[in-house]
């Protein structure tokens, strides 16, 4: 049963903090204390705050990610997580290359939509808004899978 969810992007300042904030907000309302959600980056500069645009867009949804600080993914994170959700296939390949024990629990956040979520870093706010909409849609699909499928495991996710 998935209880520990790790969301990963490149720098851990745009996409993964937005997804983490959304997961914490939604799962916290649906199933308090059942899920623990964290985010990391594969090229993160530890300690960096989230992008101002990401903070602003989530604040509009009454979700505060301003206290988040970027962290580089580590072997401890891989062992901790039951499910690792990445933004791009490249992230999935890199994680499985660095941490072979992660194979079988790394999926794209856009898995159910069969999509990748591109990096909005240094792009206009409109691009961030589009990315946030993709992240929201993908988070909603995963929330449904995790909360309605009581036996959420690899075989169910592969569908």
Average pLDDT, the chain: 93
Q: Considering only residues 69 and 156, tell me which one the structure prediction assigns the higher pLDDT.
A: 69
Is 96 catalytic? The answer is no
CA distance 38 to 40: 7
What's the pLDDT score for residue 150? 55
Q: Which of 15, 40, 71, 108 is catalytic?
A: 15
What homologous superfamily is domain 4-152 in, according to CATH? Response regulator (3.40.50.2300)
Kindly give, in sequence order, each residue whose CB lies less than 8 Å from that of residue 25, ignoring residues fewer than 6 positions away: 61, 63
User: pTM of this prediction?
Assistant: 0.92
Catalytic annotation, pick one of 9, 25, 71, 77: 9
**2-27 pLDDT per residue, tens:** 799 999 999 999 999 999 999 999 99
Distance CA 37, CA 53 (A): 22
Judge residue 138's burial from the number of C-beta atoms within 10 Å of its C-beta, 0-12 exposed, 13-18 middle, 19 or more buried: buried
- C-alpha–C-alpha distance, residues 140 and 124, integer Å: 25
Whether pLDDT at 153 is above 80: no
> Does the annotation mark 52 as catalytic?
no
pLDDT, position 158 = 59
Distance CA 30, CA 27 (A): 5
Q: Does the pLDDT value for residue 155 go beyond 50?
A: no
What's the pLDDT score for residue 2? 77
Residue 37 dihedral angles phi and psi, to the nearest 5°: -120, 135
State the pLDDT at residue 149: 74
**pLDDT digits 0-9 by tens, 57-70:** 999 999 999 999 99
Q: Where are the domains of the chain?
A: 4-152
Q: From CA 27, how far away is CA 85, in angstroms rounded?
A: 15
Average pLDDT over residues 39-56: 97
pLDDT tens string 128-146: 999 999 999 999 999 999 9
């Amino acid at each position: 049963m998935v209880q520990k969810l790790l969301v990963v992007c490149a720098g851990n300042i745009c996409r993964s903090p937005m997804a983490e904030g959304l997961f914490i907000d939604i799962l916290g309302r649906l199933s308090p204390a059942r899920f623990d959600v964290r985010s990391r980056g594969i090229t993160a500069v530890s300690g960096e705050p989230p992008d101002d645009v990401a903070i602003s867009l989530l604040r509009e949804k009454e979700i505060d990610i301003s206290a988040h600080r970027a962290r580089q993914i580590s072997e401890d994170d891989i062992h901790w997580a039951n499910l690792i959700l990445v933004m791009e296939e490249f992230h999935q390949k890199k994680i499985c290359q660095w941490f072979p024990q992660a194979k079988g629990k790394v999926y794209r956040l856009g898995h159910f939509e069969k999509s990748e979520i591109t990096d909005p870093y240094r792009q206009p706010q409109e691009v961030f808004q589009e990315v946030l909409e993709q992240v929201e849609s993908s988070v909603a699909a995963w929330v449904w899978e995790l909360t309605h499928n009581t036996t959420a495991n690899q075989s169910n996710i592969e569908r």
